[in-house]
Amino acid sequence: MLKLAAQRLRAGLWTICALALLAPSATRAQAPALIAVAGEPAASALDASEQGLPASYTRAIDAAVDEHERGHFAEAREHFRAAHDVFPNARTLRGLGKTEFELRNYGEAVKFLTAALASTVRPLTPPLRHEVEHVLERARAYVGEVHVDVQPGSASVSVDGVTVASGPQAALALQVGEHVLEFRATGRLSERRQVTVRGRDQINIQVVLTPPEPERTALPNANQERPPYSAPSYRKWWVWATAGVVAAGAVTAIVLASRDPDTRDAPDANWTVHTP
């Protein structure tokens, strides 16, 4: 009986040791599955390699998740962008949307989160979709949608000095507050509109840019200053005075030329003018 009990005790000890050795392995085997669910869009390196994702994508995702967990949202956004450039999918869009929300860029957050829900590339799992829908609902409380219909269709649309879209139609998610929209097109007069956006607003704007008016030849102005009046030469007194002097001189010369030669030099002699 003692021998049998000793054998059973040794078997029990071996079983306990075996379970102790296998427990870490079981934990390690479950880790990738936990990361794939709770850490999306991040995926472990093992998960990424199994799906054939590029190594650069995996590195960018891991760095993005690390920065996000540290509260470094601007840095996380840059890593998510790098991953999205390598392989755009629903998970990278989700990461971009969440970082934009944390940075209070609610218009950008709405854009990325909406795209994440619609993407069919590495689509979101049901838990992730629920999370994204919740964040999206919060972001929409801080933005309004401005729907623009502008003619001509080549017109550009600027918001607060930054070109963001082009016609003929555009949908803009703008944060609450005052904004200035400007519309420009070649050969047309530009136009500005100021809008006040409130949370969940739906604003419709229609704009038709008109061509400039043709230039007209300027007509003379009746009140325009005229040059000083100058009388014609024949109306000036000094012209007639000069003419009179010349005429008198000519008459005197004729008279002198017609005097008698014998009496021309006598100082007291009388003289007569002879008519030719």
Q: What is the pLDDT of residue 208?
A: 96
Amino acid code (one letter) for 183? F
Same domain for 136 and 202?
no
Instruction: Judge whether 13 lies within some domain.
Output: no
Alpha-carbon gap, residue 82 to 26, rounded angstroms: 34
**By the 8 A CB rule, do 93 and 115 touch?**
yes
- For the entire predicted model, the pTM comes to 0.58
pLDDT of 90: 97
Using CA atoms, how far residue 205 sits from 46, 150, 167, in Å, is 50, 8, 12
Tokens 């999370």, located at residue: 131
The verdict on 130 and 204 lying in the same domain is no
Q: Report the candidate in 70, 1, 6, 65 with the shortest Cα–Cα distance to residue 38.
A: 65
Task: Record the tokens describing residue 144, joined without a space.
Answer: 């309004």
Residue pair 148/157 in contact (Cβ under 8 Å)? The answer is: yes
Same domain, 164 and 182: yes
Q: Do 61 and 72 have their domain in common? A: yes
Rounded Cα–Cα distance for residues 168 and 180 (Å): 18
What is the number of domains present in the chain? 2
Find out whether 118 and 124 touch, Cβ atoms under 8 Å. Answer: no
Those residues whose C-beta lies under 8 Å from the C-beta of residue 249, and which sit 6 or more positions away, are none
Distance of CA 201 to the CA centre of its chain: 22
H helices of the chain, in order, are: 2-38, 45-50, 55-69, 73-86, 90-102, 106-118, 126-140, 237-257
Per-residue pLDDT at 253? 63
End residue of a domain, out of 156, 173, 208: 208
55 and 126 together in one domain: yes
- Pair (131, 180) in one structural domain: no
Strand partners, 173: 145
| CATH number, domain with residue 36 | 1.25.40.10
Task: Name every residue whose Cβ is closer than 8 Å to that of residue 113 and which is 6 or more positions away in sequence.
Answer: 93, 94, 97, 98, 101, 132, 135, 136, 139
Instruction: Report pLDDT for 181.
Output: 97
Find the domain containing 189 and state its range: 143-208
Q: CA 124, 125, 130, 131: dihedral to nearest 10 degrees? A: -70
Please identify which residue in the block is written with the tokens 């409380």: 141
CA 138 to chain centre: 26
| Residues linked to residue 197 through DSSP beta bridges, in sequence order | 177
Tell whether 170 and 133 lie within a shared domain. Answer: no
The secondary structure of residue 199, as a DSSP letter, is T
- Per-residue pLDDT at 170: 93
Mean pLDDT per 10-residue segment, the chain (276 residues): 52 48 37 34 43 90 96 97 97 97 96 97 96 96 95 95 93 94 96 95 95 75 60 57 65 60 50 47
Q: Which residue has the tokens 């078997």?
A: 11
